[in-house]
Structure 1
């Protein structure tokens, strides 16, 4: 499936800004199941400097500096992406038992396993706690294939938690999400990650987009889509496998991957510093437009 993706971020400032330094993480990943045909970043006012770099996880970050007086900043990234089917290639039952995965990581020194070990540690946004382990143990049974346990955990979050956009902010602790059983995609992904890591299982945060379909009989609203988040679990035999607890499914062609990280803090879409500005108004417009197969 091919998509034309547009992500526009606009800041309007109460006072003029003299300097701003920004870092974006909005370029779609190049993966075995995802081909990025082209990506273009536009900044208005034009930046005095702009360059890309890859982080530890292979995500592409773009730094830019605007040093002209401005009362409005627009950052728009446009991408043409092709996403290939992948869910059918995953064999849940054939994955390694979760206890063996932990043992394997303790003994293996290959690059993939060493990388996975780093994604078993706690972060500020994804802490390790006996409460999260107890939550995971409600679905993980002894000798259960690790991907089956992750799928059950995803289903548990989807069935017992309420999607509530007004309940959490970026600063809401994952403990609150577990206690109140409410949140959004970012919260559900980070809750699953904390639960898995509390079991000793490697898990990573995935940011991206999900093609949304309008209600029957209604037209698609341009710019009304949004960023999305889910989580990934490591199986030594099948690699990293994604799960979307918000929608209780294994991501496939409708999920477009932007970046991987330990948690949201590693893959913030746009962040920066500025001098001046005072209070500001932020608007974000995202459009994920499916294209015909012959589109290029």
Structure 2
């Protein structure tokens, strides 16, 4: 599916900002499930310096500095991404190991080979293990249950038992609070799922990106009316011939907001932007400013399939 994505972030400051430095994660990269043919940033005012780099998780990040006074900062990311479908059988047909065996795989013991996914087992800024997460997950992670079946069941329960409520939380709302309220937005659902999986000793990571929304028949897509999205990946080690777990495996994506899962992506209508331990690693924009005691933030996202563009009259 060929997708055209525009993500515009606008900050308005009062009083003005005299100097600023920012780091953004707004440019997708190619992978097994997507091919990026175009991706660029337009920043206003023009930065005095800018550097694009790839971080430790393989994400494209951009650093820029603004040593000039400004009342408005606008960052617009344009991307053209062709998503691909990776075929996979139903979850019941996948022979994944019992979740307890996967948990033991990540336990430290002398002489054990290192699995890079170990980094995603531990606590992070927004994902703090707690007994309440284990208690909630227990109904899905019954003894001996295959890890992917258990994880998909937990994803489904979050989807059905929680209420999606816009503006009910913000970026600083703890996952434990959202768990108790049984409501939140996609970011909260992702952090809750991550917290449950890591509390159980499993490796899971946060994914930011986009999802194509469906436009009602007879209507046209409103430019800027879409939103960024967030979901989770769980790591499943490969099983070797002797029955032990290898230090390599597969990442399966789980989207509790939409109750969707898949190999490396929940579907062809998803675009992965960045991965990390949680939101703190992949926040779209963060930085340090001098001035601007108060500010307003406007974000507009448009994800358009190529079919819509071709159908748009001149």
TM-score, length basis structure 1? 0.94
Q: How many residues align?
A: 291
Q: What is the match of residue 154 of structure 1?
A: 155
The residue that corresponds to 1:38 in the other structure is 38
Q: Deviations over 1:168-216 (max 9, x none)?
A: 1111111111111000000000000100111111111000000011233
What do you get for the CA RMSD once the two structures are aligned? 1.8
Q: Which structure 1 residue ranges, 4+ long, deviate > 6 Å from structure 2?
A: none
Paired with 2:186 and 2:37, the residues of 1 have a C-alpha distance of 27
2:284 is equivalent to residue 240 of structure 1: no
CA contact (8 A) 1:207 1:257 kept: yes
Quick check: 1:6–1:286 contact (8 Å CA) kept in 2? yes
Selected match of 1:109 from 109, 113, 132: 113
Is 1:167 the counterpart of 2:168? The answer is: yes
Shift of 1:127: 0.7
Deviation at 1:278, TM superposition (A): 2.7
Asked if 1 retains the 8 angstrom alpha-carbon contact of 2:2 and 2:80, the reply is yes
1:290 partnered with 2:290? no
Hey, what's the Cα distance between the residues in 2 that align with 1:281 and 1:104? 47
Stretch deviating more after TM superposition (93-102 or 158-167): 93-102
Following superposition, the deviation at residue 89 of structure 1 comes to 1.9
Q: Which residue of 1 aligns with 2:123?
A: 122
TM-score, L = length of structure 2? 0.88
Structure 1 portions without partners, runs of 5+? none
| CA–CA separation in structure 2 for the residues paired with 1:46 and 1:218 | 37
1:150 to partner: Cα distance: 0.9
2:180 matches 1:179: yes
Q: Is the 8 A contact 2:103 2:200 kept in 1?
A: no
| Deviation for aligned residue 1:104 | 3.0
Residue 292 (structure 1) shift: 4.2
User: Can you list the C-alpha shifts for 1:73-111, whole angstroms capped at 9, x where unaligned?
Assistant: 11111011111012x32552322221221233347525x
Secondary structure of the residue aligned to 2:299 is: strand
The 1-side partners of 2:217 and 2:308 are apart by 23
Separation of aligned partners in 1, 2:281 and 2:125: 11
CA contact (8 A) 1:209 1:256 kept: yes
1:49 maps to 49
Question: How many angstroms apart in 1 are the aligned matches of 2:228 and 2:132?
Answer: 29
CA contact under 8 A between 2:11 and 2:297: conserved in structure 1? yes
Structure 2 residue corresponding to 1:254, chosen from 259, 269, 272: 269
